[in-house]
Chains A and B, each alone.
Chain A
Amino acid sequence: MKKKGQSNQGAPAGGSGNTATRAENQAVLNISNNLEQTLGNIKRELGSSPDLKIRKFQIGSAEPVWVAAVFMDGLINAVAVDEFVMGALFDNSADAAEEMPREPQERLQLILDRALELGEIAVKDDWNDMMLSLLSGNTIILLDGCSKAIEGGTKGGEWRTVAEPSSQIVIRGPKDSFVESIITNIALIRRRIKSPTLWTEFMKIGTVTNTDVALLYMKGRAEDKVVDLVRMRLKKINIEAVLESSYIEQLIQDKLFTPFPTVYNTERPDVAAANLLEGRVVLIVDGTPFVLVVPTVLAQFLQSTDDYTQRFDSATLMRLVRYMSLIILLLGPSVYIALTTFHYEMVPTPMLISLLAQRENVPFPAAIEAMIMEAAFEILREAGTRMPRAVGQTVSIVGALILGTAVVEAGIITPVMVIVVALTGIASFAIPSYNLAVAGRIIRFGFLVAASMFGFYGITLGLIVLIAHINSLESFGTPYLAPLSPFSIRGQKDTLARLPMFTIDLSPEKLGNMNNDNKSGNDQGTSDSGKDGRTGA
């Protein structure tokens, strides 16, 4: 950890860091006047990879000039390369052949001006820039005798098409989800918000992977302060590889030692768009369909698109059900333990008699019993997640048999415990956000221990600690429990209940208010805790 910290300080942050490290390894490479030499250098640097394609040809009839088009197979749009680069070069340069100038610079200009039929074109004179462009799927056009390269935007290749979301499913609402391509993802959002105030910034993160990260926000809605903070934290990231947005999430989150997620993620473009409209910042990472949303609050993890596509009354009911599920998930087994081992007088007598009869020949104390069952359930769930789809059925059958019937028949576990554990398990699935459900699953075990030691007293103490902890959390300057704490009447319209549409406006005040409430203290607080979080990692 120490080493990493030191190198952090040594290397300049962000994009310039890439070039610096690259330059160390490949000290003296640059685009040479000699075409053969340049091509040789490219091949050497890429280790003569077979997917590197070089097409050499001549243009101009009077005084033919050697030209090379270099591209990576599979990363390019083959049609674009064939028609608009090669085809255009042949046709148009033939037309222009009579006036082909002798000066290499002018030839380059001529090709740029007259020959290439591409929308995206640039001139590169830096070797590393050129290589990065090549590896991003662009076509590089090199001219013999010229020390500059033309970059033609021919990015393409195979991507998964836009499909239905797999992790955030709704009854009614848009059925598209983000894909792995950052450009497609931005387009999916832009299609929903056709406003010039939707601003996008690009940066590359990852010294090796050079992953594109897009920062989206709505100018005027998002607070500049928050945007600056996000930008600053992104710039500070020094990591070799970014393969998923969670890499970024873990590096920009406010606090490390908390089970609660302080960065929201979604694979739904409509959710991302709604958050942009509410003044939040969206981060899209190339190569993953999950985009990040900051700042976030706890309530957001219990919301779903369905809350807005259904009528307000049913939406409110469903939302309350989710809050209840969270409470059941956290406290279900522990309340059962507390009731049966400490506070038996609180159970209604007929129920107590039935519990007594069930417990009669069970070998383990209730707390151990709960631990066993919860652990078994977690194993089953983990197995179910990783299991190849073909055997998935087997797991559920075996699991249902083992947990549901056999364990009870064998007299190891009481039937009530099965009910309690099953209820907790189902409650964890009712929470729309997977990472909040995971947090609940972890904390549940803490409560289990507290309840088996001290009964309801322990649960109460645990709750105090838990709420104090949640209350101490912040996400990019926004208190995590907002709008419950600090309390805001305006925010209540869409927190526990969802009031009718006409009362809810998406204007960013909802978020802005909370930040303004304690503007002075927050800036310092967040940046500090942000630092702590990262050095801890």
Chain B
Amino acid sequence: MDGQVLKLWKLLAISGLLLLQTGCWDSVELNRRAIVSGVSIDKGLTEDKRYSVSFQVIVADEITGKNSRGNAPVALYKGSGRSIYEAFGNASRQSARILSLGHSKVIIISEDLAREGIRDLMDIFERESDMRLSTLVFVSRGQRAEDILSVMTIFGKIPANDLVQKLETGNRSFGYNFRIEVDDVIRGILAKEGGAIINGVIVKGDLEAGGTKSNLEGIKPKAILKNAGLAVFKQDKLMAFQDGTEGMGLSLIHNKQKEYPLLLELGKNESATFSMFKVHTSVTANAKDPEHPVIYISTQQQAALKEYNGSLDISKSSVLRNWEKLLSEETKKEIDAAVKAAMRLNSDYIRFNETVNRVNPKGWKRVKGRWDTIFTQCEVHIKVNTLIRHTEMRTRSLKSSGEGVE
């Protein structure tokens, strides 16, 4: 029995040693890592350096540490190569620590690269296990993508986070940009008849000053990151940027807009501005004849009066009912503009193809190959239903008689 115990101990000791032999698998201490917050991809200067990739790396000490030296909170490492991974390798060599992509928030693609097509470069973002499919994708509008990553920002210190937050805050209330992730982009590219939509981004102001601390020293920042339009693609090639009504319409069709402002012109110098909320859009189709599908876009929305300078008595429901009609017309115009734009560009990034496929899968298979011709001749019916919920804290405006005069 003593022998057995001894044997057991020997076995334990040996297996313990074996455990040490393996090393620690892929264990990496945190202070051996450089956390990448954003990646930008530009066109390389020469043929053998096809991509020029920049990595925005977080300098944790500058952000929270007591050991802050008062320097920039992030650093940009840049590398170029024939593929993105090669560029990544080249950039890594400049860094004392392991560039870790697990926390990348944004991927920025330069406009000229996007116009040439992004199919090749999206592969790594899905394949590389460190990256997340939920990383947001942007197109730098007319600027180099690395410039977007080199702007000091006022809130949060990390520019990539600033960009993400701007997008989310904007989408909540006013802007028409919405979250577009790697996953969405890849799905857009893969649809033969359609294309991807990617948010545009620009640096407004002084590019040079934007990258230094002087950007933050004054009350007015010298350069500021800004979402700018939606870049629409035909498959993987950028076709145009859509701003204003078209952009808003696009966001509405995708049912991504939960709230937005709408202004009604009511004659000379008179207008009413509303905040639209609880906006919901659904797209259906009648595709019994897949050669001539009819698309129905239906939007439900509620409105609250935010600003009014006219003289109408808005305590009367007839006035409000009339405005509701006008509001519906406005929204309809926005959606219509977006649909027209897509048809003009002949790219079904508004996903009518999916709708037709859903209601008539067999018919869809027949017309699949010719969809780009059918798409442009689709009959589209837009129906908007608006309900004015309330007029906020006042009824009549200051201009209307009987109130606020004395």
Contact = CB atoms under 8 A, between A and B. Distances in A.
Interface in A343-382: 344-345, 349, 352-362, 365-366
B64 interface: yes
B5 to A, nearest CB: 9
A353 B33 CA distance: 11
B35 A1 contact: no
Given A342-B27, A357-B63, A2 B1 contact: yes
B267 interface: no
B36 to A, nearest CB: 11
A515 interface: no
Identify the interface centre among A1, A344, A362: most chain B CB within 10 Å of its CB. A344
Contacts of B28: 341-342, 344
B58 A342 contact: no
A455 B63 contact: no
Contacts of B35: 344, 349, 352-353, 356
Interface stretch (B100-108, B118-126, B243-251): B100-108
Contacts of B25: 342, 453-455
B30 interface: yes
Interface in B1-58: 1-2, 19, 22, 24-31, 33, 35, 37, 58
A355 B58 CA distance: 12
A453 B19 contact: yes
A356 B30 contact: yes
A344 B65 CA distance: 19
Contacts of B26: 342
B346 interface: no
B130 interface: yes
Contacts of B27: 341-342, 452-453, 455
A259 B226 CA distance: 60
Interface residues of A, number: 27
B30 A355 contact: yes
B31 A353 contact: no
Nearest to A339: B30
Interface string B108-150: 0000000000000000000000101000000000000000000
A509 B325 CA distance: 72
Given A359-B29, A366-B30, A453-B19, A344 B102 contact: yes
B83 interface: no
Contacts of A455: 25, 27
Given A2-B1, A453-B22, A455-B25, A362 B31 contact: yes
B60 interface: yes
Contacts of A453: 19, 22, 24-25, 27
B67 A341 contact: no
Given A341-B28, A357-B65, A453-B24, A349 B60 contact: no
B103 A357 contact: no
A357 B30 CA distance: 9
B270 interface: no
A340 interface: yes
Contacts of B385: none
A360 B60 contact: yes
Contacts of A535: 1
B223 to A, nearest CB: 23
A360 B65 contact: yes
Interface in A130-161: none
Contacts of A362: 31
Contacts of A1: 1-2
Given A354-B64, A360-B67, A344 B132 contact: no
B96 to A, nearest CB: 13
A359 B31 contact: yes
A344 B33 contact: yes
Contacts of B19: 449, 453
Interface in A513-537: 535
A345 B132 contact: yes
B61 interface: yes
A353 B58 contact: yes
B161 interface: yes
Given A356-B60, A357-B64, A453-B24, A345 B103 contact: yes
Nearest to A364: B29
A353 B100 CA distance: 13
A430 B61 CA distance: 36
A259 to B, nearest CB: 16
Contacts of A365: 29
Contacts of B132: 345
A244 to B, nearest CB: 26
Identify the interface centre among B19, B24, B58, B100: most chain A CB within 10 Å of its CB. B24
A334 to B, nearest CB: 13
Identify the interface centre among B26, B30, B105, B132: most chain A CB within 10 Å of its CB. B30
A296 to B, nearest CB: 28
B35 to A, nearest CB: 6
Contacts of A359: 29-31
A261 B64 CA distance: 46
Contacts of B60: 353-354, 356-357, 360
A349 B67 CA distance: 20
A356 B31 contact: yes
B70 to A, nearest CB: 15
Contacts of A360: 31, 60-61, 65, 67
Contacts of A340: 29-30
Identify the interface centre among A344, A355, A356, A361: most chain B CB within 10 Å of its CB. A356
Contacts of B161: 349
A345 B61 contact: no
A405 to B, nearest CB: 14
B29 A356 contact: no
A361 B67 CA distance: 10
A99 B308 CA distance: 127
A139 to B, nearest CB: 48
Contact of B33 (A354, A356, A361, A366): A356
Nearest to B33: A344
A424 B105 CA distance: 33
Contacts of A344: 28, 30, 33, 35, 100, 102-103
Contacts of A341: 24, 27-30
Contacts of B64: 353-354, 357
Interface in A308-343: 340-342
Nearest to B100: A344
A349 B103 contact: yes
Given A362-B31, A454-B25, 17 more contacts: A1-B1, A1-B2, A341-B29, A342-B26, A342-B28, A344-B28, A345-B103, A349-B103, A352-B103, A353-B64, A354-B60, A356-B30, A356-B58, A359-B30, A361-B67, A365-B29, A452-B24
12 contacts: A1-B2, A340-B30, A342-B27, A344-B103, A349-B103, A349-B161, A354-B64, A356-B30, A357-B67, A358-B65, A359-B29, A455-B25
List 5 A-B pairs, minimum CB-CB distance, nearest first. Answer: A345-B102, A356-B60, A357-B65, A357-B60, A359-B30
Interface of B: 1-2, 19, 22, 24-31, 33, 35, 37, 58, 60-61, 63-65, 67, 100, 102-103, 105, 130, 132, 158, 161
